[in-house]
Structure 1
Amino acid sequence: MALVVSNNTKLRKLIAYISASFHNDTYNLTETQKQLLENYLNRLTERIGGDNFPETIHTDVDCGAGLEDVAEIYAKNYHPYFATAVCLFGIVANLCNIAVLTRKDMISTPINRILTALAVADALVMVEYIPYTYYYYVVLAKKMDFPYSGAVYILFHTHFTQVLHTTSVCLNLTLAIWRYLALGYPERIHTLCSDSRCTLSIVLSYFLPVVLCIPTYVTLTIATREITENQTLFILYHTDLHDMFKTDNTLLKINFWIYAVLLKLLPCGILTVIISWLIRAFFKAKKRRLKLQSYNDIDNKNKTTKTKRRADRTTKMLVAVLLLFLLTEFPQGIFAFLIGIKGKDLFLECYQLYGEIMDILALINGAINFILYCSMSRRFRTMFGQLFKIRVLGLLTPPPPPSDIHTTCV
């Protein structure tokens, strides 16, 4: 998920352009009107936590020309509604995942336990993101009062989503390694993929991100700004880069290098290698199975084929889950890596600009797993149908009369 800094660079640019345009002779403004307008824009700039604007803006940071416009339009007009819809769907979908994967016949499999832990992490992110969307895009945009409690909440949201998203990274990595061990070392599967090791892996996937995200904790802080209106002093609170990262560009670069390499690019690199190996192992096993079929009798062939087909479907489903995860993680990792090279200008000008795009990609990735499970796992579909068919029929069907109960109980 994207880091949130409330210094709205886009709005400051817009104010600057408005100021510059009204200084032209096209609008035939008097000097008094120009001064009143400039005073108003200055107060507005102070409210969003920036310095008085220049008449022209010079920046060497290229944020992607046409893509920049698309990102601004999406963030301004569509993101709050789209994100809320995705979160609502994702919460329901992940609750369905948890309900199915925790059934007695399903929870005994380590892979399903890891997928359950992943569904919990994704659901928690979406549950928290809905009130954040309402506060940031509705309440704050309307009142523009920047209270201390609001700044604390924005800071909490940033760290909470970052920790849980890192948990998802760890769980996806665990999922890939688990499948690699199961296919690569089938004779040692009961030792390498034991229940105790599965439990330990899940616990570590939730605990380690709290430690791994320490660089994020020290990067952001709550800043204050004092403004005076009508002889009344107002204190505005907002999240911002810590002073030491503002003054020391090298320190910020190092921080983002750690974030990009340790939390993004390294896991993505490991996942890429394991996914490549899984795909290769899948096709090798398929060829080997075709060769062995002619040597087996019909009964053994049918049993082996059924087991192998189930394993193949599981492998294909997990590869699809991991590939979708890579599609959302690699762009963020590359972005953070470039910030480690360029410094805070790229962070303030571009990273914040594409924050909503990165958020929605992460939310979609967390919500779409249910669709993958249903479309690629026959066992999941069967369990889902049985679970909710029983619940629905239990609500719609009246209880049988006593005589029927006695005759059906043998």
Structure 2
Amino acid sequence: MAANASDVAMQPAQPALFQFYNWFVGVHGYASVVVCIFGVFTNIFNITILTRRDMRTPTNILLTWLAVSDILTMAPYIPFAIHFYCPPADAQGNPDKFTYNWIMYMLFLINITATTHTISNWLGVSLAVFRFVQMRSTSRGPLAKERRIRQVKGITLAVNVLSSVVLIPNYLTNEIQWQALDNNTIVYGIKDLNLATNQTKTIVLFNVINYAVTAKLVPCLLMIVFSGSLVYTLSVKNRERRRRLSASGKKSKKDSRQATTTRMLLVVIILFLITEFPQGILILLSATMPGFYANVYTLLGDLMDFIALLNNAINFVLYCIMSQQFRARFLEMYLRRAVLHKPLEESGTTSERLCLKEPPTKTTLAD
């Protein structure tokens, strides 16, 4: 969460970075509200479509809970952005906005977004790991599919519980403090952690580093490892598929669908890496490098918040671009065009139809 404008204005900074902060803080609130409203509605679309009976797959369960996490990130941010950023407020010029109740809400938002980002990052790891294992597995059929669904539900529960438990010390780090202005008006704010100074408490340093490592850097590194493995496995499978097609002269629709699904998940994971990995590095530098928090991190805080919100909102667009079946289900459920009331099998060729749907075996659908 970015610092308030009044706090940043008192701190030395690189002129170009400070100028960027002064410009972006003016547009951050309005842009964030638009992105959040769009993201909340589109993630509701994601949930309603991905939980349809005919879309029930292990991968879609993970994507559904990712959408839930994104909603829990964006929905609380809307009133925060409107109150503090539309237009931008500071404690000196707008003391009425820095009441105890609103700072309590800010503290709640800091904790809930830390939790939801941690959950989303580890769900991203789960997507990469699960897809990698799935592509190398030879198990097919309804029993294998149900077993994978049970495994995914257990993984999702573990990610939600463990992410909340690991961050309990982090919840206790931030505190509310009050300040009396020149006119004796009392304003409230989040207590400065004094990162990378002689005043930094050991528990604070531990909690910040723990958050940077466990919530950002480690999951991002795991996503890099398994994404690379996915790319390698996909390239191997593509070579094998081309050899089979060359030998038989037939088209392999199943392999093509699997490749489409894997590519889509890779794009989701890459967006995670672009958003979260730089944040993890900046948080780590803030905890260890004197002056970095005041001169760099606080000035980039609004931009990092906005990029994270944009990543939360963009999955719906990605699914629509890459999945013909997702597009068809969305149009059928929400636009109700008569031409789209035909069964899915009549709405396009089989080779166009998969992204989120699991590839079929000869007799049933499986992972």
User: Could you tell me which of 81, 88, 96 is aligned with 2:37?
Assistant: 88
* Aligned pairs, number: 332
For residues 283 and 249 of structure 1, do their structure 2 counterparts lie closer, same or farther at Cα, with a shift above 3 Å needed?
same
Distance in 2, Cα, partners of 1:228 & 1:72 = 25
Distance in 2, Cα, partners of 1:228 & 1:73 = 28
Rg comparison, structure with higher value: 1
For residues 241 and 186 of structure 1, do their structure 2 counterparts lie closer, same or farther at Cα, with a shift above 3 Å needed?
farther
Distance in 2, Cα, partners of 1:325 & 1:335 = 16
Distance in 2, Cα, partners of 1:129 & 1:200 = 29
Is 1:201 the counterpart of 2:155? The answer is: yes
User: Could you tell me which of 201, 206, 209 is aligned with 1:254?
Assistant: 206
Is 1:73 the counterpart of 2:19? The answer is: no
What corresponds to 2:8 in structure 1?
A: 10
For residues 318 and 366 of structure 1, do their structure 2 counterparts lie closer, same or farther at Cα, with a shift above 3 Å needed?
same
For residues 163 and 316 of structure 1, do their structure 2 counterparts lie closer, same or farther at Cα, with a shift above 3 Å needed?
same
For residues 244 and 281 of structure 1, do their structure 2 counterparts lie closer, same or farther at Cα, with a shift above 3 Å needed?
closer
Distance in 2, Cα, partners of 1:11 & 1:194 = 53
What corresponds to 1:309 in structure 2?
A: 256
Distance in 2, Cα, partners of 1:162 & 1:188 = 38
For residues 259 and 284 of structure 1, do their structure 2 counterparts lie closer, same or farther at Cα, with a shift above 3 Å needed?
same
TM-score by length of 2: 0.82
Is 1:121 the counterpart of 2:74? The answer is: no
Question: The residue matched to 1:219 in structure 2 has which SS?
Answer: coil
Please, which moves more after superposition, 220-229 or 307-316? Answer: 220-229
Please, which moves more after superposition, 374-383 or 327-336? Answer: 374-383
Question: The residue matched to 1:199 in structure 2 has which SS?
Answer: helix
Distance in 1, Cα, partners of 2:135 & 2:73 = 32
TM-score by length of 1: 0.74
Question: Residues 235-272 of structure 1, C-alpha deviation per residue, up to 9 Å, x if partnerless?
Answer: 32211135899764362443332222221111111101
Distance in 1, Cα, partners of 2:194 & 2:17 = 31
Question: The residue matched to 1:238 in structure 2 has which SS?
Answer: strand
Structure with more of its chain in helix, by fraction: 1
What corresponds to 1:357 in structure 2?
A: 303
Deviation at 1:133, TM superposition (A): 0.5
What corresponds to 2:120 in structure 1?
A: 168
Question: The residue matched to 1:178 in structure 2 has which SS?
Answer: helix
| Contact 2:95–2:187, Cα closer than 8 Å, also in 1 | no
Letter in 2 for 1:143: N
What corresponds to 1:48 in structure 2?
A: none
- Structure 1 unaligned residues grouped into runs of 5+: 14-58, 394-410
User: Could you tell me which of 115, 128, 131 is aligned with 1:179?
Assistant: 131
| Contact 1:94–1:120, Cα closer than 8 Å, also in 2 | yes
Deviation at 1:191, TM superposition (A): 8.1
| Contact 1:275–1:319, Cα closer than 8 Å, also in 2 | yes
Instruction: Give the CA RMSD over aligned residues.
Output: 2.7
Deviation at 1:126, TM superposition (A): 1.2
Question: Residues 173-208 of structure 1, C-alpha deviation per residue, up to 9 Å, x if partnerless?
Answer: 111111011012233892896222111111122222
What corresponds to 1:328 in structure 2?
A: 275
